[in-house]
Chains A and B, each alone.
Chain A
């Protein structure tokens, strides 16, 4: 992890930072039902257990569950881009942009293995300087 990335601030609330600034995805695992959730939870939305959630780091590897190719977005957003829904190894699901793949249905395969990378936010949106976000790239 480069020092530049470690110096950036996360945008998404479920993106945490280790002591040295290295970003990671925050998850919560329910000790009562075993469900893994993205982000911090006090109580379990699945089984209603209270105070049984343990904070964990989610995996940076997973498979493409679903996607769309976005052509029209808000001003300042670079289009087209692939909005991907990724099921992470070991539990948890997260949405992120899929990079390094041609934005066409022919080039994208459901279930393809992907891995997470962290980049400065201005690569995707205007005004993103100084912030970090997670992205996905194919894992081969």
Chain B
């Protein structure tokens, strides 16, 4: 295999709502923070991969704010897997031997309210509510109901995911929200689509995150291996055919495919993973992804959560950042923000929320359409 690739610098802005923010301004901030994290300059960067779901040429417009060095810039969009895809492309470029130092940055300026897919079916009138629902809460409510159907998972178990992730976020100064949400509050908040209440939906926020990737050789030359984290496995998958996928979005099968690729490349198994940042866009999804990522057996996701295994101090803490449910979910930035969280733990720099002794961490994002990216990172 070709040379190892390290993450040598990474950072994210605190997620929030910023009235006059633009994607390039958000991206510029995170990019400079990530460069500062490893003491490099934009002049050291040989290529840029920029993730954003809504605007065009964000990568170039970012360089117009921090230095137009003329390096290749590639703009990436891949639904909720956008940031992770930009990160992966940066990794591929170094793996290919073309560059030693590459910047991956993700940004998003979010609107308010519920996400509904655009009328891409080209129907004469909008079809939402006419032939079932395609709102994001409804899609992920059905994901949970399918799990309930198969394994008896309850509304309360799904709600406990939200309680846990909001609890974790109280330890993360970069999360949008940092407050506890007791079970009664989660279950009692406005019902969006059964079994998903408002507090079981990810938070629409503006945000950005960036990572500086570097060949192992160059990192040694620069003396930057001390806080470096190795990319041990990377899996990206599109949705393979599954029975009902085109009618009822199936993010399980695509996640399993990407996870298998990443595990095989990393030559590790789920038992080796010390912490995970996974795509809790809705509380129901987290329980399904425990199984999809192999963290527990089939049908055991609800009990795995109940056991405390995925809470700080448990066997494999999940979404220590507060997750998309509480840290927030700026689409194009999310995949790189997850990388930042894992790298921070592997470096031992996560403060109050530190997962002690973490050596291997995993990130997972999945976007409808569908795209799933899984990365396995290891302390150097």
Which A residues contact B (CB, under 8 angstroms)?
9, 11-13, 37-38, 45-46, 65-74, 76-79, 81, 83-85, 87, 93-97, 105, 110, 121, 124-125, 127-128, 131, 133-134
Contacts and interface: CB of A to CB of B under 8 A. Distances in A.
B127 A12 contact: yes
Contacts of B128: 73-74, 77, 125
A68 B123 contact: no
Contacts of B126: 74, 125
Interface stretch (B91-99, B186-194, B208-216): B186-194
Q: Which 9 A-B pairs have the closest CB atoms?
A: A77-B129, A95-B132, A68-B141, A83-B132, A83-B133, A69-B194, A46-B241, A68-B193, A70-B133
Contacts of B253: none
Contacts of A70: 129, 133, 135, 138, 141, 192-193
Given A13-B122, A66-B146, A72 B248 contact: no
Interface in B82-117: 114, 116
B129 A37 contact: no
Contacts of A11: 123-125, 127, 130-131
B1 interface: no
B243 interface: yes
Interface in B146-175: 146, 149
Contacts of B124: 9, 11, 131
Binding site secondary structure of chain B: loop
A131 B246 contact: no
A128 B194 contact: no
B358 to A, nearest CB: 36
Contacts of B247: 38, 85, 93-95
A128 B130 contact: yes
Contacts of A84: 132
Contacts of A128: 125, 130
Nearest to A33: B241
Contacts of B137: 72
B145 interface: yes
Contact of B192 (A12, A71, A74): A71
Contact of A73 (B131, B133, B191): B133
A95 B128 CA distance: 11
A126 B338 CA distance: 41
B248 A66 contact: yes
A13 B142 CA distance: 23
A56 B247 CA distance: 18
B59 to A, nearest CB: 32
B190 A71 contact: yes
A34 B348 CA distance: 54
B351 interface: no
B241 A66 contact: no
12 contacts: A69-B191, A69-B193, A71-B190, A74-B128, A81-B133, A83-B133, A85-B132, A105-B194, A121-B130, A124-B130, A125-B130, A133-B131
A83 B125 contact: no
A97 B130 contact: yes
A81 B241 CA distance: 29
A45 B241 contact: yes
B129 A124 contact: yes
Q: Which of A13, A70, A87 has the most CB of B within 10 A?
A: A70
Given A11-B124, A66-B142, A77-B130, 17 more contacts: A11-B127, A12-B121, A13-B122, A13-B123, A70-B129, A70-B193, A74-B116, A76-B129, A78-B129, A85-B142, A93-B243, A94-B247, A97-B130, A121-B130, A125-B125, A127-B125, A128-B130
Contacts of A105: 194-195
B244 interface: yes
B219 to A, nearest CB: 42
Given A105-B194, A131-B125, A68 B142 contact: yes
A36 to B, nearest CB: 10
B243 A67 contact: no
Contacts of B129: 70, 73-74, 76-79, 81, 97, 124-125
A127 B126 CA distance: 9
A10 B138 CA distance: 23
A83 B134 CA distance: 9
A128 B127 CA distance: 10
Contacts of B127: 11-12
A69 B194 CA distance: 5
Contacts of A134: 131
Contact of B193 (A12, A46, A72, A127): A72
